A and B are shown apart, each in its own frame.
Chain A
Amino acid sequence: MVFTPVLVMCGILVVITILLAVADKALVSYGECMVSIKDEHGEQQFKAKGGDTLLSALIANRVKISASCGGRGSCGYCKVQVSAGGGQILPTEEIFIGKEERKQGTRLACQVKVKEDIRLFIPDLLTSVKAMAKSGTFDTRLRWTFLRTDRPQIVPVPKKHPKLARSEQTVMESIVEKYAAERGAIMPVLQEINEKYKYLPAPVLKNVSRDMAIPLSEIYRIATFYNAFSLKPRGKYTIAVCTGTACHVKGAADILAAFEEQLGIKTGETTPERQFSLSAVRCIGCCGLAPVITVNEEVHGLMTMKKIPEIVEIYRGK
């Protein structure tokens, strides 16, 4: 017979199982254990037969607890917080129980055997979901809006914003306020912020984004598209060398190189003490005076190599 070894093995396993079950019944007796429960509705106690699972004891005593898999340890719903008794956490529970929960003594009721007196707390799942929704980390409304035809206005969840100093806050608000009625107001708002700070500071932009209800990504896109805006701090004076055609023909490239050398920075950079920024600009319309530079809004025409140190000196002390 080919099946003989298989049958023999099966027989041995069945015998061992029966032996173990009988031994458990006959040799080990937990007797009656006390289960004390604390939940939203108060405290209650009942006696349970030792050796049963906690879940079956709870169900037998009509304690509300959800368990959709029926005690197989696969749904993870029957979480309870055990404060005394219950033994060590089992490998079968580990995948359901997070670090934080483990600290609180969370167990799956279906996996806990009642062997001694147990004290436990049953958290209200619904309450905790509500608390989550309130905390702002999870918006329940977002999940079902698409089902509804009359889409409710989604109230933006307040996010944490970098706090601005009070004075800065008022300045920012007054700028936003000033253009509030205007269409396409973001451009003048950014222009004024850029003028005030000489660049667009990130905390201010985040607040503008909130106050004007324009996504930060959109503002960032505008801020990086236009040459007039900078996300990096700029110097008190921006030296802009005109590289328009007329100036180019008359040697603007050399002038720019000379300024780089004089200030020790490259085009587009700012000196460490934030006195000067250097930039190249396309035609400021003073072609009659080529090559031309501007320092902030002041125009200096007919530039020569000689004039460069002089001009830097004038503004260095200012």
Chain B
Amino acid sequence: MNRLRIEDLDSIIGREKATVAVRDGTTAGDTIHVMLCAGTACISQKSNKIKEALLRELAAHGLDKKVSVIMTGCNGFCAVGPVMTVMPDGIFYHSITEADIPLLVQEHFVKGTPVENFLYRPSAQEKAIAKMADIPFFANQTLVALKNKGLVDPERIDDYIARGGYKGLAQVLTGMKPERVIQKIKESGLRGRGGGGFPAGRKWDSCAKAHGTPKYIICNADEGDPGAYMDRSIIEADPHSVIEGMIIAAYAVGSDTGYVYIRTEYPLARHRLGVAIHQARDYGLLGADIFGTGFRFDIFVKQGAGAFVCGESSALRASIEGRVGEPSAKYDHATEKGLWQKPTVLNNVETFANVPQIITRGAAWFAGMGTEKSKGTKVFSLVGNIENTGLIEVQMGTSLRRIIYDIGGGVPMGKKLKAVQTGGPSGGCIPESMLDMPVDFDELTKVGSMMGSGGMIVMDENACMVNVAKYFIEFCTDESCGKCTSCRDGSEALLVILERICGGSGTMEDLGLLEEISHAVKEASLCGLGTSLPNPVLSTLTYFRKEYERHIVDKKCDAGVCKALFQYQVNADTCKKCGVCFKNCPAGAIQWEKKEVARIIQEKCTKCGICYKTCKFNTIDII
């Protein structure tokens, strides 16, 4: 046991000062830190191997004393992984492989010249950008919850403390009454980041005032929305910020036990969280008598078992209690009768990650960011048909256009943007025409979508909106727990109609029926899953009704997704007669001779789309 006293925080900061300076790029010393991304995405691209190769090469050049390699959490720029940043200069390298390392070490670390090949280029024509801070993807973000991403080793608690970590906790435990903490969170205007957007301060207040002990703190890390991975990245990059936030919440409401409910699909995040909790216990930041103030609190990890609905608060609690994860009616607020019928605060990972900084930097600072009713920043995962796929954090109220074009770099291959889907399966699709709307809780709800946990899926002209609606309904049909008839059978009924439309046998009456069923499901379901599952249908019906009508009346799917409603055809005028499509067709449905225009035999075509994707000259049309 190395129990920390409050003074010890400062001595750690003092000891690690040099390290922080290097990583912040504020020193011109000799030491170099290579911050290599070790998020799930980059590890799957072999960043562990790259680390070994780096260490090997550096040792061979006798540089291993001067240069250290640090495995960090998710950097956010997942599209070009594996990525690394060389500090203190802030040179950003991406898409590196093990084989590139000798050259990289030779050029950069021995000779001192950045290697142009691995630097970021917005497009082939433009000049390479060497520094991370200059790359638009990074430059346009405001980091709060992700403040430490790429700057700390998530498995080393001293790194977190060196950057001011646990200072907020010390401040709370020594100088603030619980009511004052709650007051501060209220003043900051922090709203729950899990989707609902309920003011965190009010939730804490109601739990603090509730009768009954023990009280529980639950961190919801059951991030099930497809296309969203903010929580995973926060835990992988900076688990201590979540732990600190939970301890502060515990102090504010008077709880002594906390749970983190984390998805089974996130092994790395679970591992890092386990390590972080272990280290915090070792330092006496969890357990009895934290900082010698007599306050006790401990955190336990509960693993999910692959049920989307368990992200819903009452289902999540049922799952922790060892029951089937079915939502239940909320006659009582969870803050009064939650886990095991005791007062419980349940917040999302990102919400907790924001808390320590609100304490140290002040409620006014936090409230200074964002819009009138949505304060602070929000982390989004920007995925789908977008150039810079990755994790971003921007101020609330930033327009979609800015997010997609300035940070995300727009839609690849010069295609047109069609819609942005936010809020996961419960969200809606926002058409291109509304890109200038500011993104915050209320604005998104107004247009029939929602903030959700922050997934943002960009779709280009090749996305069929009917199919997208069908995809989400299919998801919800699968994941509905089956308790409410409206949700269980309603989603099924919606799916049947959507399949009918995609299959070419829809009628115009179906559209009315879709709307009617959607409203019924919304009205009659118990939990958030049921009440929001028709959103994708309703929002696509509102903004893309023409597309539905084209499927029904003309029996055409212009995007080339619904297989029954289109054909591939070679454009004889532009065909370069290269035969690539002929060679790649797995169904043998393409006729081609040398110097002849290729022809697709419709009877044999399985519409797999391989010819369409492999044709370099875009001569295959969807009709």
Contact = CB atoms under 8 A, between A and B. Distances in A.
Contacts of A311: none
Contacts of B93: none
Contacts of B233: 285
B44 A183 contact: no
Nearest to A283: B226
Interface string A243-263: 111111111001000000000
A227 B41 contact: no
B165 interface: no
B335 interface: no
A184 B44 contact: no
Counting chain B CB atoms within 10 Å of each CB, which of A250, A286, A305 scores highest? A286
Chain B interface category by residue count: 35 or more
Interface stretch (B140-148, B155-163, B285-293, B455-463): B455-463
B385 interface: yes
A302 to B, nearest CB: 8
A25 B450 CA distance: 103
A288 B389 contact: yes
B227 A287 contact: yes
A191 to B, nearest CB: 6
Contact of B40 (A190, A249, A254, A299): A299
A246 B383 contact: yes
B463 A289 contact: no
B321 A183 contact: yes
B44 A289 contact: yes
Given A191-B303, A282-B479, A287 B389 contact: yes
A120 to B, nearest CB: 59
Interface stretch (B121-129, B261-269, B512-520): B261-269
B437 interface: no
B229 A249 contact: no
Contacts of A285: 40, 223, 228-229, 232-233, 265-266
Interface string B220-237: 000111111100110000
Contact of B81 (A246, A283, A288, A305): A288
B494 interface: no
A225 B481 contact: yes
Given A187-B305, A225-B481, A227-B306, A286 B229 contact: yes
Given A184-B321, A225-B325, A245-B455, A282 B308 contact: yes
A186 B322 CA distance: 6
19 contacts: A187-B320, A222-B324, A225-B324, A226-B304, A228-B305, A245-B384, A245-B424, A246-B457, A248-B226, A281-B306, A287-B228, A287-B381, A288-B41, A288-B78, A289-B41, A299-B40, A299-B41, A301-B44, A305-B610
Interface of B: 40-41, 43-45, 78-79, 81, 223-229, 232-233, 264-267, 302-308, 319-326, 340, 381, 383-385, 389-390, 421, 424, 455, 457, 459, 463, 471-472, 475, 478-479, 481, 608-610
